[in-house]
Amino acid sequence: MRNPISTGILAATAVALLATATADEERQVIEPPKGDAKPVPEDVMKRVYEEAKTPFKYGVVLKGEGPKKVDSPSVFRHGGKWYMVYIIFDGNGYETAIAVSDDLLSWQPLGKILPFRQGTWDAMQAAGYIALQDHVWGGSYALRTHDDKYWLSYLGGKLKGYESDPLAISLAWSPDPTKPEPWTRLEAPVLTRDQPDCRDWEKLTQYKSNIIHDKDSTLGYPYVMYYNGKRDSGYERIGMAVSNDMKTWLRYGKQPVIDNGKGISGDPQVVRMGDVWVMFYFGAFWKPKAFDTFACSQDLVHWTKWTGPHLIEPSEPWDQEYAHKPWMVKHDGVVYHFYNAVGNQGRVIALATSKDLRKAKSR
């Protein structure tokens, strides 16, 4: 005889899955308003570059234990301290951890917040990135809440390996973003390749995402997500999605907002610099090696790509192969550019700055 409680649970699950399927069938890409957007003027682009450039490489600030690799920093401020959410790769898949700092230079790992788990769609891949940060350049860099919770978005998958396809995007929340404890994850991904509104350029995998709170609801929605995806190996582009509630996400526009024709354009971070939106992101293989660059927008939809010098590129032994995946903050007049470095110390997290802090520290 069947357990009536189990039967009830199964019935409720079936109803939920049916509702999700029905909702998915109704999904459609939101079309941006028609009209030609003017490119961001060249003098504004140059001003952004001068403001954001970080020519002084401070060095490696965080390594993995033993052979483990670390990746993809995102940095925020809470309770008078700085925290970094970052990824650990142990050869099997991605987990997400957190570290703390008093000065943005010296970092102490605290523990994991998205560890491996069993029997789930994201069992072996959970790479998290903070969401709803104060995106004002030179602002507080605090995390805002939604529904009295702190949020992060993450790419997830169930297969072992380095970014094994397919990957999808979901969210997790915590009442305290600083504790090294597992965050509560939504039960299912919010963006997948199986949804009917999935665009051609992201048909295989969705990667890193950055969610901002647009208090003016410029696009008709308060929450805007940027993320990179691909349809086949080696070609990634950045697109966008929008939401009213942080749980249901609708794709916005049929075309990517950043597309460099080949290679990788990925890992966006969006900030507000004066009266212009700035997206820091990394490029790889459409120019030599991997590097960080940016684009600017006046409406969050149409982006003008910077074509001048990179914000950062390989130049030192620790980043001689790759210098990429930016997270940038401006604090007390100094720009801190955290990035993933691959070189003679393996895959680590490094820092470059707008002022020579090594020289200042040695005085």
Sorted by where each starts, the structural domains of the chain and their CATH numbers stand as 4-362 (2.115.10.20)
So what's the pLDDT on residue 149? Answer: 98
* CA 363 – CA 359 distance, rounded (Å): 7
Residue 359 CA, chain-centre distance (Å), reads 32
The pLDDT score that the predictor gives to residue 22 is 42
Question: Quick check: 207 pLDDT over 90?
Answer: yes
pTM, two decimals, is 0.92
Percent of the chain with pLDDT over 70: 92
pLDDT at 35: 74
Contact yes or no for 220/206 (Cβ under 8 A): no
Q: What is the mean pLDDT of the chain?
A: 92
Residue 283 CB neighbours (<10 A) = 22
Residue 76, pLDDT > 90, answer yes
Residue 10: pLDDT above 50? no
